[in-house]
Structure 1
Amino acid sequence: MNGRSKQELAGVTLLGKQKVSYSYSYNPDILESFANKHPENDYFVKFNCPEFTSLCPMTGQPDFATIYIAYVPDKLLVESKSLKLYLFSFRNHGDFHEDCVNIIMKDLIKLLSPKYIEVWGKFTPRGGISIDPYANYGKQGTHWEKAATERLLWHDMYPEKIDNR
């Protein structure tokens, strides 16, 4: 079968719309998914999101980051426009960097029930310190559960050269 049927795309409502409402406060209900046509294959889907913005919960000042999301889908894939709008919804959300990364991961787990997922936030420095939280998950009872543990244990053993981004 080539392409996707209307039935397969029934849950995708944002893609192709010219006028989209932006949510300026955290809204996980924006996320949409569609069926994975290759659930028997293990493969990574990676999103690089270099324009993430949230607010410091203490000062209200903006925090900027590149968010990396990589996952091995099971039955569902996240629709990228809905992901973009979802990440935008953090714009006025006040939370610490570590919280944002874990919230994003948990919302995607709830939506997709992926075999494996990792979310890595690389935040720009504030006060001379950059914070790069990382969270991951492997589906229980699968080899991905073990892979998540191993990945976390060895995560960032060879960090990149920091040049103030």
Structure 2
Amino acid sequence: MNHIQPEQELSHLGEKTNYEYQYNPNLLETFTNRHLDVDYFVKFNCPEFTSLCPITGQPDFATIYISYIPDQKLVESKSLKLYLFSYRNHGDFHENCIVTIMKDLIKEMDPKYIEVWGKFLPRGGISIDPYVNYGKPNTKWETFANKRLEQHDITLEKVDNR
């Protein structure tokens, strides 16, 4: 995992894309936040996430939503895409994928706040939508994360796209 200084080249951006087919957190790259004086959300919508069921080997498809408030670093989007693609042949339960994605991003960026929400397509007549969040300990973001988790999914969602 690499922290990129503004004057350095991003290793994935602009190069021919080489996809990895096994989970690899080392694909994540970051760059410096140039707006430390402002708190802001960055949101990624990843509608083509795939992984494998660890028991049956059947593919699981999801949209992954990643939102975070950066501190010193931001994740570079192409490296995030390659990282998420590395789950393609990775066998794990939906919940574990979502929590691992969040933990890997925390390790790489150390954001003020982050949340990851997976909206998996149904298999066997049931869909699973795991959600996890984190706020930096001993800051207002820890309180924010707790409140947001308490309020998460408090209203029923109309599921008409799956």
TM range (shorter): over 0.9
Runs of 4+ off more than 4 Å: none
CA distance in 2, matches of 1:7, 1:126: 43
RMSD over equivalenced CA pairs, Å: 1.3
How much does 1:164 deviate?
4.9
- Is residue 116–residue 136 contact of structure 1 (8 Å, CA) maintained in 2? yes
CA distance in 1, matches of 2:128, 2:22: 23
Partner residue in 1 for 2:118: 121
Q: Which residue among 148, 152, 162 is the counterpart of 2:159?
A: 162
How much does 1:40 deviate?
2.0
5+ long unaligned stretches in structure 1: 1-5
Q: Which residue among 49, 53, 65 is the counterpart of 2:50?
A: 53
Q: 1:52 to 1:152 in 2, by over 3 A?
A: same
CA distance in 2, matches of 1:7, 1:164: 41
Question: Aligned partner of 2:10: which letter?
Answer: V
CA distance in 2, matches of 1:76, 1:134: 23
Q: TM-score, normalised by structure 2?
A: 0.95
**For 1:76-108, what per-residue CA distance to the aligned partner results, in whole angstroms no more than 9, with x for missing partners?**
000000000000000000000000000000000
Q: 1:51 to 1:63 in 2, by over 3 A?
A: same
**Percent of aligned pairs with the same residue?**
69
Q: Which residue among 62, 74, 78 is the counterpart of 1:77?
A: 74
Q: TM-score, normalised by structure 1?
A: 0.93
How much does 1:41 deviate?
1.0
Question: Aligned partner of 1:8: which letter?
Answer: P
How many residue pairs get matched? 159
Question: Aligned partner of 1:50: which letter?
Answer: P
CA distance in 2, matches of 1:108, 1:147: 18
CA distance in 1, matches of 2:25, 2:143: 28
**For 1:112-154, what per-residue CA distance to the aligned partner results, in whole angstroms no more than 9, with x for missing partners?**
0000000000000001100000000000011000000000011
**For 1:31-83, what per-residue CA distance to the aligned partner results, in whole angstroms no more than 9, with x for missing partners?**
00000001221100000000000000000000000000000000000000000
